[in-house]
Every structure is written in C-alpha cells, then in structure tokens.
Structure 1
Amino acid sequence: MLDTVTLALLAALATVLGAALVGVMAIIYPTVPGLRHWAAAELLLALGFGVYVIRGSDLAVAISVVAGNGLVYTALYHFAEGNRALAGERAPRPMGPFVAALATHLAALTFLTVVVENFPLRSALNSLGFAGLSVLIAWDLWPMLRRPGRQFGARIVTTAFAVHGAFHLVRAVLSFSQPASEQFLDGTPLTQATYLAEFTLALIVLGGLIALVGEHLRRRIEELAELDSLTGILNRRAFFLLAQVQLNLALRHGEPVSLLMVDIDRFKAVNDTHGHLVGDAVLRGVAATLGDDLRAHDLIGRFGGEEFILLLYGLDAVDATVVAERLRTRVPSHTARSRDQEVGVTVSIGVTGGYPDPSWTVDSLIAKADDALYRAKDMGRNRVEANRMPYRLAKADQVYAD
C-alpha cells in the first residue's frame, strides 16, 4: 500500500481536479444551483488534505489538525449546501450553528493535540464529526431520489457519502486500538485506509456531481419543452398529455374532475391601445393570478392567444364554479402598467365537469367548457357559466346531463 503522505496528496490532487472541473461547469452553466458551493467544497478539501501533510514538529501538527480539519469540515458544509440548492431548497441553512459547532470541535481537537496528547480520542472525535456531516449530505440528497425519472447521479453521491459516514463510524471505534501518540508520517494501517477512502470518495463524488449536473440540465430542457415561454405555465401540448392522465385517474378512482376555459375580455383592445409589451405583461399577470390558488395536482396551461385552460381534480362542476368565481373576481385587482397608467382586465370563464365515464376525453371536456365560455361572452362578459358533462349511472343505461 502507498504511504500515508502519498495517499493524502493523491486525495488533494483528486479534489483539485474536482474543483477545476466543477468551477468550469459553474462558469458554463451559471443557472445550475449548487455548483459554486461544490466548487468551493472541492477546493477546500484540496487545501485541507494538503495541510494534513505539513507535519514534523509539534507546532506543525497543531496547525495541521486545526486548519486541515477546519477546511475539510467547511468543505463538507458547502457540499451539503450545494445539494440543498440543487434539491430546490431556496433558503440556505443558517451558518451560525455550524460555526459554533466547528469552533467547539476544533477547540477540543487542539486540546487533545497540544495540552493532552491523545491521538485515539482525537481520531474518534474527528471521525464522528465526519460521519455526522456525511450523513447530513446524504439526507439532503434524499428528496431527489424520490423524484420521477432517472436519478443516477443522486444515487452515486448519496451512496458515496452514506458509505463514507459508515466508514468513519467504524473508524471511530477502531481508533482506540491506535497508538497513544500520533504516527502520521509512518502511517498505521487505519490511517492509510482513511486516506485511501478519502481519495476514492473524491473520485466517486466528482463523477456523481457531473452526472447530477447532466440530469438537472436534461430535466430543465424537458421543462422548457413543456412550458409556454411567455407565461411559464404549461403549453397546450403538455396540458393535453397531463390532463388525459388526470382524467384516467379520476375514472379509475371514481373521483370528479372539472375543466375551466378562461378568456381575457377585450384583450385585442389592450394590445391596440397600449401595445404588445403591455399585452404580454397582462398575459403573465393573469396566468400568475389563475395559478396562485391551485393545488399541487391541479393543472393550468395556455390554450392559445388570450385563452387559458385549467383542470381541477376532485371537484365537480358545482365546486369548480365556486373556484372559477373566486378567480374571476381576483383577476381585475392584478393589473399591468402602461405609461404610469393602470391597465386592468376582466375574464370570462366556462366550466364543465362531473364524475367521468369512459366516453369522456379532454376534447369533450373542452367542447363543453368552450360552449359555456361563449355563453358567458354573449351574456355580457366578466362572468362564469357552467355546463355539466353527461354521465352514466353505474346501474342504469340512462344518460343524464344539464
């Protein structure tokens, strides 16, 4: 086996390579969350492993223990923050508790190095700290493993840090079999195994991070293909595909489902009077207002032009009409501005829905809701009209409808 110093330097070189690659990715893909944290983590790991090997005097050992471990712990903290960012956590974890815990930990390591030389206890304490942070990193990545689709990169990084945490728990126990004074430069088998594990972890995590970035970019491309570029809601094609899935689920589980067609009243006049940029702002504002109160399993899409379409799972036409009326009253309060002038609009909404039978399709729902929408337009606009879909009773062959 290679000597301890060589293994520590190899771990440092691996993390330098990681810092360079992740740093380049952060420059090329600045919108990918977490990359800057990962680049900082890789660089801090490289510095920490490099500091580990500057031993030879009591002062050098003390500096190495405090500075080296401080850098490595801070690197693991940045790994955790990068993973949280990629998992969708917008707010960073408060750094105060970490700084306080790190200061206390480093003070204990210094005491066990300078005041009372106790290498086994210091090694065990360090391993417990590494194990705790490794488990925290794996825990932060856990939500990503439950997302649909391939999660190859997340599995690699999660598994690597989970195994790393388990290794350090074992090392904490085995540390008490080590000599009372440190033998770093000569290297005990446990110390050599530790640096070999760190070198292996650095390479595996780097591969996992690259895979994570690739998966994130692929998902982003898929999302852009499904979203309307102006409003950020589903485009027509994506809405139809997802709405059919929801309709099938409602039929299978005996749940009601409703569809709303929403049209901005006199939208052409807005464009003609205030210009298309203001018209675009109105479209974005209406889309945001309509989507604000929706539940996670409801759908909203842009049907075309100034028309929007919503699918409400679990609501029949009566309940959906209540929702539609609430949306109708909210839209005028969200306006756009044109030359310091407020531009407000109203909407007309057509509603249909009920308990589906196998004859229902997304197209048939749209046809019924569209009919109700045109009735709302004919009756003066800025109103809600509803049609119930035909449905068939389970023990009868008679079709009922409004």
Structure 2
Amino acid sequence: MPIDVSTIMLMFPVVSLSMAAAMLVVSWGRWRDDGLAQWGAGVMMIAVAFPLFIVNTLASSGLPALMVAGNTLLAASYSASLVAICRFFGRPCSPWKTLLPVAAAAVGSVVYIDRPEPRVALGGILFAIQGFLVAREVLRRDNGVLERGRLLLAIGAGMVSLLYLQRTLGIVGGWNEVAQLKTAHFIQVGSHAMGLAGLVLSTMGFILMGRERADAEHQQQALLDPLTGVPNRRALMAELERTLAQAVRERRPVALLMMDIDRFKRVNDTYGHVAGDAVLAAVAQCLKGGLRGQDFIGRYGGEEFLALLPGTDAAGAGVVAEHLRARVERLTMPWEPEDIRVTVSIGAHTRVPDEGTGAQAMVDVADQAMYAAKRAGRNRVERLDAALSECAGATAAS
C-alpha cells in the first residue's frame, strides 16, 4: 500500500497545533514563569512550518520561498524549546545557541534555494545539532535528580536529532529521493514518523517536568511550618527516625534540644497575636542561624522548637544549646510602642541509640529537660543524659 508523505506531514500541524494551543492557554498570564509559553510557541511554529512544506510539495512548480520560511521556522521552534528549558531551570540561555541556528537555517535555505539535496543535508545537520543541544540542556547534572519528565524530553529530542541525521546520511549515501518530499522513500517516511513521535514525547516530557516540580513543591510545603518557614513536626519526626537508624548502625551519639519561648503568652496578651507570630518567625530564624550545617531544626508545636544534632555528644550538645540560648537573648524584635525581647528555656538530651530507642521517647526526655529549665528559672539550659528508663515522671512547669 503506497504511503502518502503529504498525509504524514499533515499530522504535524494537526498534532502540534492542538498541543500548542493547550499549552498557550494554560500558560496565559504566566509568560515568564516556567518556560511553558516558550515551549508552546515553539510547537506553534512547527504547526505553521509544515503546512508551508506541504503547499510547496503540492505546487506543480514548487515554491522555494516556502521552504526557506519553513526551515527558518523549524530552527526557531527548536531555539524556543531551548529557551523554554533554560527558563524552566532559571538560567540564561546563550544567544549563539538560539539566534545563530535560526540565522544559519535562513541563510542556508536561501543559498541552496534551487538545490534541494544540499539544502536538506545542511538542514539535517543544523536541526540535529539543535536537538542535541536541547537534550544536553535538559540532562545537565545541575538540574537535579533525573526524573521521568526530563528523561522523556531527552528521548524525544534525541529522536528528533536522529530524524534529521538520517535524512543527511541519506543524501550523503546517494538517496536523493530523500530531498523530494513527494517521494515515499523509506527514510522520508521513517524520518517523519520518528519526528512526530519525538515531538509528542518531548512535549509530554516538558509538561511532566512541570507536574513533577509542582508535586515536589507541594510535598515540600507539606513538610514546612507556614508561619516560621522551618520544618514542621511531621518532618522533624521523619528526620529523627532516619538519624536514629543511621546512628544505630554507626554507634554514634544523637542529641536533641527542646526549646520553648519563655512567657510567650505574655507577648500575645501585651502586643497581640500578630506580634506573637512575628516573634515566632524571628526566633525560628535566629535558632536556625545558630546551628551547624548537619543539624536540623523545626517547629515542634506552639512556641516549642526541636533541634536534632547528629553525631553530637553531651558536651557538644551543651555548647550548642548555650550558644542558641545566648543568640535568642540578644535578639531584638522592633515593635510599637517598644521593642520585644524574649528568652528560651532549653532541654538537652543525648544518647547513643540502640535498636530499642524510639524517636518519641527521646523527644519526651528532651521535653522533660526543657521543663526542668523552666522550673529552674527559665532562660537556661538543662540536660538529661541518663538512660531513658531513668528519665520518666518529670512534671511540667508553667
């Protein structure tokens, strides 16, 4: 059964126009957010370019100017894809990678306007390089973990590169029928089928990249306390479980610091809850700024914060706790009619965990030590480093 190349080529504007319209509608009003608009514009250029090729093919004497315009639009579409990826990852895109291929496609098409074989061979090399640049940009290591969206996009871009490389190789191999769009040569048919699949895969990959980023951001937000910007209780306990498991394997100590803002209710009653929220946020950032890179801090609840210090013995935990207490004591919160100053009471607990050590049990001991600091006068550090079984029954202080 003969294959009509024009019919295959007609699938490009149908498919690309549908995808481009959907992407441009979704990105409406967000032209500079995530590269979606740039990618949609690139797909739209493909939707315009292929009808030009089809008209040129169907014209009895051919319309070479349409080939020039179509090739220029194709180069521009791949440049737009490259810009979209750079925009997605928040980095600038080199002009020579975007503008130079467009100029080269236009000039090369004009120079070989009456010579289809060298025009197709040159365009194949140029577009293959652009596909390679897109795949290379999306696979950069500094983009983070290679997720499914990036992999799918890279595969699609690779298919586009192969599409154009096989057309160039066909010309070099003497199959000049590749340059005649009316001829149903197997390279002609295969290249367009591969190109259409690559277009769909790469566009789906770009959309999936956005979905994966949104999911990651939502997951991250679910683990952050929205008021203070530090991890919430759920994230704290998950991190503590991981740290304890590693400490058991390595037989290393783990320290916990439970920190509570002293007389926080008085702040709310005197200055209002807006001031109280501002104090919570300021104290959280003050504590976070006083920790080491390997430490982990979050809001445990109310005005309580919990710091996790991996690989830290009792003496080291005491030093860190005193450092944090002094930082908060020096903290001044500008407010009307007067500045707000607060202190914290800190309870420290350190142990080398074993298989039976529970995360919540360690937190409870650190909490008991914190209440011991409250009873001893507040704005101080108390340590409870005995075995967990020996640290039960402490009563809370107000």
TM class by shorter-chain length? 0.7 to 0.9
CA contact (8 A) 2:135 2:153 kept: no
Name the structure 1 match of 2:393. Answer: none
The answer as to 2:89 corresponding to 1:103 is no
Name the structure 1 match of 2:309. Answer: 312
Name the structure 1 match of 2:127. Answer: 127
Name the structure 2 match of 1:22. Answer: 23
- In 2, the alpha carbon distance for the partners of 1:50 and 1:109 equals 18
TM-score, normalization by structure 1: 0.78
Consecutive unaligned residues in structure 2, runs of 5 or more: 57-61, 389-398
Larger radius of gyration: 2
- In 1, the alpha carbon distance for the partners of 2:227 and 2:213 equals 22
- 1:259, distance to aligned residue in structure 2 (A): 0.9
> Closer, same or farther in 2 for the Cα pair 1:286/1:46, shift >3 Å?
farther
Name the structure 2 match of 1:80. Answer: 85
Name the structure 2 match of 1:63. Answer: 69
Q: What whole-Å deviation, never above 9, does each CA across 1:264-305 have from its counterpart, x for those lacking one?
A: 122222211211112112212222333346567643222111
Equivalent position SS for 2:384 = strand
The answer as to 2:286 corresponding to 1:289 is yes
- 1:324, distance to aligned residue in structure 2 (A): 3.0
Matches within 5 A, 1:347-362: 347-362=344-359
TM-score, normalization by structure 2: 0.78
Sequence identity (%): 30
Equivalent position SS for 1:388 = coil
- In 1, the alpha carbon distance for the partners of 2:321 and 2:296 equals 14
Equivalent position SS for 2:350 = strand
- In 1, the alpha carbon distance for the partners of 2:31 and 2:234 equals 29
- In 1, the alpha carbon distance for the partners of 2:145 and 2:165 equals 24
Count how many residue pairs are aligned between Structure 1 and Structure 2.
378
- 1:139, distance to aligned residue in structure 2 (A): 0.3
- In 2, the alpha carbon distance for the partners of 1:158 and 1:73 equals 13
- 1:365, distance to aligned residue in structure 2 (A): 1.8
Equivalent position SS for 1:259 = strand
Equivalent position SS for 2:342 = coil
Name the structure 2 match of 1:377. Answer: 374
Name the structure 2 match of 1:93. Answer: 91
> Closer, same or farther in 2 for the Cα pair 1:180/1:16, shift >3 Å?
closer
- In 2, the alpha carbon distance for the partners of 1:330 and 1:28 equals 44
- In 2, the alpha carbon distance for the partners of 1:30 and 1:271 equals 43
- 1:64, distance to aligned residue in structure 2 (A): 2.6
CA contact (8 A) 2:138 2:154 kept: yes
Name the structure 1 match of 2:395. Answer: none
One-letter amino acid of the structure 2 residue matched with residue 250 of structure 1: A
Equivalent position SS for 1:338 = coil
Equivalent position SS for 2:379 = coil
Equivalent position SS for 1:81 = helix
CA contact (8 A) 2:155 2:202 kept: no
Name the structure 1 match of 2:172. Answer: 176
> Closer, same or farther in 2 for the Cα pair 1:260/1:218, shift >3 Å?
same
